[in-house]
Structure 1
Amino acid sequence: MSAFFYLYGLIPTAEKNEKSFIPFKGIDKEHESYTISMGDITAIGSDVREEEYSEEVIKDKMNNDMEWLQEKAMHHHDVLAALQSQYTVIPMKFCTIYKSKNSMEQQIGASRKKINDSFLKVMGNEEWNLKIYYDGTKLKDHLRNSHLGIAAKKEEISKLPPGRQFFEKRKLDQHLDQEVEREINKRCEDIHNQLTQFSDYSTVKKNLSKEVTGKIYEMSWNSVYLIPLPQVEAFLEDIQEKKQSYEEFGLQMEASGPWPAYHFANLA
């Protein structure tokens, strides 16, 4: 069978000419990676066997072979992270595969302006991710002791007959849960709005469940920032300061990066 082409990412040809590309073993651990230059755009990838990387085989692997999926996805990410340290990279999604180099070249050619605009967008920038988790019990205790309206309601309930107190306390707990959610959202939005001063672009992603994160606390915020290199240190310092000041409210902040610009320069 003929060979398919596995595409990791695209880099400016000018950068490839300045820094020599060092081949590495491709995703199948058999074929060496190589570059294909198409004018001012260069593709980095490797050949893969059709019988091992057809659409049907990949779907089956993704649904039924978690070990294969984790290994290959990590390889894809590690390659992009290494390339990012050398070049301006537009990362491809995991398992971006073309049936022929010609079909890839046609698509790249049709998207040339978009690709070059993306190079300009991410050049000299790093992608960083911020996740915020919350300890609901800690924040609830904080609000119970500091929120004037809740404190006044507690005092009012304490003067009621015991039977009435039970129902009023339940109502207060429900109100407190609502206040906790409102307070979490407000504080996370405040943090995000303050951090955008360091970034050229930012986006807010869907929160992940505890089953996915493996954390004991729920995720309350998940955002990504494209930050100019001179601003990265200040961005991380600001997060460190916020981590300390927001800890008493039960919020835990976790910054990670730099990542390949998955969210700001991806060519579907």
Structure 2
Amino acid sequence: MNTLGNLTYVYVVTHPTGPLGDALTSLHGIGQASLRFLPPSAETADNSGPPSPIAFVASDVPEQDFNETALKHHFEDLDWLEHVARAHHDVVQAVAARAPVLPLRLATVYQDDPRARLALSAQQDLFTLRLDQLCAHTEYGVKIYLTADAGQPPPTDPAPPGSPGKAYLRARRAQRQSREAVYQQAEQAAETIEAIAARLATQRVRHAPQRGELTGPQENVLNDAYLVPDDRAGQFQADIADAARAFPGLRIEVTGPWAPYSFAMPAASTPEPPP
């Protein structure tokens, strides 16, 4: 039960098993807060049957930092946001290592435990179905980058004296042709990855390519997430690593295993955090 001056922060939906409950006693949430299970509201539960098959994993957070006004300010503070995001992710990953999870959006908060439990009750059937679908599956990311020197034409002999304009045009044409060849290679690599995923993954989500500091001097041209059955994960990673060797002008990166952030629920079906 949250205490005075605190809000209820929820991290994931999961199955509240005894072993997981024991593990929560040694884990901590944002601000080193203790974690707890929150089952659906008692007002909607069938008390004659077994305990609910799902629950939130929750902790207390200070209302002064997580109320609507404070969050609008904090979301512009990159240091604060990174700290909270890391703590949130650590809880999600720790629970996912022990049980199926539906990760919830960063800063999903409720006024108190009863309101959180009512929100879970409203989505109980949908969450239970989705957890069953994600059981024994894990998310992996696949990214394609153009290397920093991709698309640069090979060195050429110095231009003949008196023809700097023609030399410049030849160099620009060679650079454009080389760049086009690398993009064609990236398209072929994407098709190869899709063929591998068609055999080994069950779902795909296409994210926007990353930009700026996240990629450095390399250009990210593909940023996909795949839901892979656990018994195929090793083959999935090995097949993509083998395929990457055929595309020397690219860097193909597999990330994970991750909790299924990309496959938890459509945005409209998850509890909405404050704006």
- TM-score when scaled to structure 2? 0.79
The answer to whether the aligner puts 1:96 opposite 2:108 as a matched pair is yes
Give 1:42's aligned residue: 55
Whole-angstrom distance in 2 between the partners of 1:166 and 1:26 = 59
The answer to whether the aligner puts 1:206 opposite 2:219 as a matched pair is no
Local SS of the residue matching 1:9: strand
Give 2:250's aligned residue: 251
Whole-angstrom distance in 2 between the partners of 1:49 and 1:107 = 20
In structure 1, what residue type is equivalent to 2:252? M
1:83-133 Cα shifts (integer Å, max 9, x gaps): 111111111111110112222222221212211121022100111111111
Give 1:11's aligned residue: 14
Whole-angstrom distance in 2 between the partners of 1:48 and 1:55 = 13
Check conservation: 1:132, 1:252, Cα contact below 8 A: yes
Whole-angstrom distance in 1 between the partners of 2:230 and 2:260 = 13
Whole-angstrom distance in 2 between the partners of 1:99 and 1:10 = 18
In structure 2, what residue type is equivalent to 1:232? A
Tell me the CA shift for residue 41 of structure 1. 1.4
Local SS of the residue matching 1:20: helix
Check conservation: 1:6, 1:48, Cα contact below 8 A: yes
The answer to whether the aligner puts 1:83 opposite 2:82 as a matched pair is no
The answer to whether the aligner puts 1:62 opposite 2:75 as a matched pair is yes
Aligned-residue CA RMSD (Å):
2.7
Whole-angstrom distance in 1 between the partners of 2:167 and 2:152 = 20
Tell me the CA shift for residue 44 of structure 1. 0.7
Tell me the CA shift for residue 61 of structure 1. 1.6
Whole-angstrom distance in 2 between the partners of 1:121 and 1:140 = 46
Give 1:111's aligned residue: 123
Whole-angstrom distance in 2 between the partners of 1:92 and 1:117 = 16
Give 2:46's aligned residue: none
In structure 1, what residue type is equivalent to 2:239? D
Check conservation: 1:118, 1:265, Cα contact below 8 A: yes
Against the structure 1 CA distance between its residues 79 and 19, is the aligned structure 2 distance closer, same or farther, given a 3 Å change threshold? Answer: closer
The answer to whether the aligner puts 1:227 opposite 2:240 as a matched pair is no
In structure 2, what residue type is equivalent to 1:28? G
Whole-angstrom distance in 1 between the partners of 2:107 and 2:151 = 42
Check conservation: 1:210, 1:217, Cα contact below 8 A: no
User: Where does the alignment leave 5 or more consecutive residues of structure 2 unmatched?
Assistant: 41-51, 155-162
Local SS of the residue matching 1:263: helix
Give 2:160's aligned residue: none
Whole-angstrom distance in 2 between the partners of 1:68 and 1:48 = 14
Local SS of the residue matching 1:5: strand
Local SS of the residue matching 2:100: coil
In structure 2, what residue type is equivalent to 1:60? H
Local SS of the residue matching 1:257: strand
More helix by share: 1
1:171-197 Cα shifts (integer Å, max 9, x gaps): 564455444434423332332332332
Against the structure 1 CA distance between its residues 120 and 169, is the aligned structure 2 distance closer, same or farther, given a 3 Å change threshold? Answer: same
User: Where does the alignment leave 5 or more consecutive residues of structure 1 unmatched?
Assistant: 145-161
Tell me the CA shift for residue 216 of structure 1. 2.4
In structure 1, what residue type is equivalent to 2:259? P
Aligned length: 246
Tell me the CA shift for residue 19 of structure 1. 4.1
Counterparts of residues 100-249 of structure 1 (less than 5 Å) = 100-135=112-147, 137-139=149-151, 141=153, 167=169, 170-171=172-173, 173-213=175-215, 215-246=216-247, 248=248
Check conservation: 1:12, 1:41, Cα contact below 8 A: yes
Tell me the CA shift for residue 168 of structure 1. 6.2
The answer to whether the aligner puts 1:28 opposite 2:40 as a matched pair is no
- TM-score when scaled to structure 1? 0.81
Whole-angstrom distance in 1 between the partners of 2:234 and 2:173 = 46
Runs of 4+ in 1 over 4 A off after TM superposition: 162-173
